[in-house]
Amino acid sequence: MSEGLGEPVQRSMAIECGVLEHAVVDGWMKRIQSARVTEQICDVVLFNEHPAVITVGRRAQHDGYEVLTNIPHERVERGGGITYHGPGQLIVYPIIAWQGLKEQSVRTVTSRLEEWVIAAFGELGIEGQRDERMQGVWVEGNKIVSIGLAFYKWVTRYGISINVNTERGVVESLRGCGLEEGTSTSLSVLGHTCTISEMTAALILHAPQTIQRELHRATSEEISALMALTDGPSLDEQFGVT
């Protein structure tokens, strides 16, 4: 561990997964979370994209929901409402043990994740902001980032959706998380040009001073060991590592 902002900075594993089906990652995340709870592994952060899917959180399931689109949808165990995932959106799943007493509140964890994204945006010349009425990150009055988490013994799964360069009109047409149609959009629609890879690199760079995790890109050997322990998806198929 190293020190950052008066708190220990923990060495953690970053895995850039490419494009994965949401259903594949959903079950795998739960197994990684269980392994983290039992301290078999360090913190793991997954970076990936999903083929088009709408996930329906616990609040939307409780309140009743109607998905007016032909995009497939899946119920999930995170908090929150309806969220779109698809090409051009970076999904970040921090499977992290928030062990410090200062970390163990849902609002504190959410705030740290927001700070992390805002710092990464700043690295790319984008001014991100919070809206105290709703979690997430906003740019020029538009919602760009959604956050939804599930906790088990203060280890998180699910996480952050960043609309980098999603197809115009897709996220804009959905009323996710109680927002009016047209409130959410992507960075590309607002004229900010960056790639999924650039956003991932900015997040890895700013993790130590915001979420107190030093993310190192996992080696193929580390990924293989994690796969074996957590019954993960095929290494060759999903990561192109031979």
* Cα 30 to Cα 157: distance, rounded to the nearest angstrom: 7
123-169 pLDDT per residue, tens: 999 999 998 878 899 999 999 999 989 999 999 999 999 999 998 87
Q: Is the pLDDT of residue 84 over 90?
A: no
* Cα 112 to Cα 115: distance, rounded to the nearest angstrom: 5
Does 56 reside within a domain? yes
Task: Tell me what pLDDT residue 130 has.
Answer: 93
Does 95 reside within a domain? yes
> Nearest to residue 163, comparing CAs of 132, 149, 141, 142?
142
Give how far Cα 126 sits from Cα of 118, 197, 202, Å.
8, 16, 12
Does 241 reside within a domain? no
Domain of 15: which CATH number? 3.30.930.10
Task: Tell me what pLDDT residue 169 has.
Answer: 79
Mark 40-66 as b/e (b = at least 16 C-beta within 10 Å).
Answer: ebbbbbbbbbbebbbbbbbbbeeeebe
Does 160 reside within a domain? yes
Does 183 reside within a domain? yes
Give how far Cα 155 sits from Cα of 46, 101, 124, 159, 225, Å.
14, 13, 29, 12, 20
Domain count of the chain? 1
Give the pLDDT band (50/70/90) at residue 17.
very high
Task: Tell me what pLDDT residue 60 has.
Answer: 56
Amino acid at 222: E
Do 103 and 112 touch, CB atoms closer than 8 A?
A: yes
Residues of the chain with pLDDT > 90, as a percent, come to: 60
State the pTM of this model: 0.88
Give the pLDDT band (50/70/90) at residue 241.
very low
Does 234 reside within a domain? no
Q: Which two tokens stand for residue 131?
A: 């809206």
Give the pLDDT band (50/70/90) at residue 234.
low
* Cα 124 to Cα 118: distance, rounded to the nearest angstrom: 10
Task: Tell me what pLDDT residue 75 has.
Answer: 78
Do 89 and 195 touch, CB atoms closer than 8 A?
A: no
Q: What is the set of active-site residues?
A: 177
What strands lie across the sheet with 53-56, from one edge to the other?
A: 73-75, 53-56, 82-85
Average pLDDT taken over every residue of the chain: 85
Do 163 and 145 touch, CB atoms closer than 8 A?
A: yes
Its domain, for residue 86, covers 2-229
98-130 pLDDT per residue, tens: 987 567 799 999 999 999 999 999 999 999 999
Amino acid at 242: T
Does 134 reside within a domain? yes
* Cα 50 to Cα 23: distance, rounded to the nearest angstrom: 9
Does 236 reside within a domain? no
Give the pLDDT band (50/70/90) at residue 176.
low
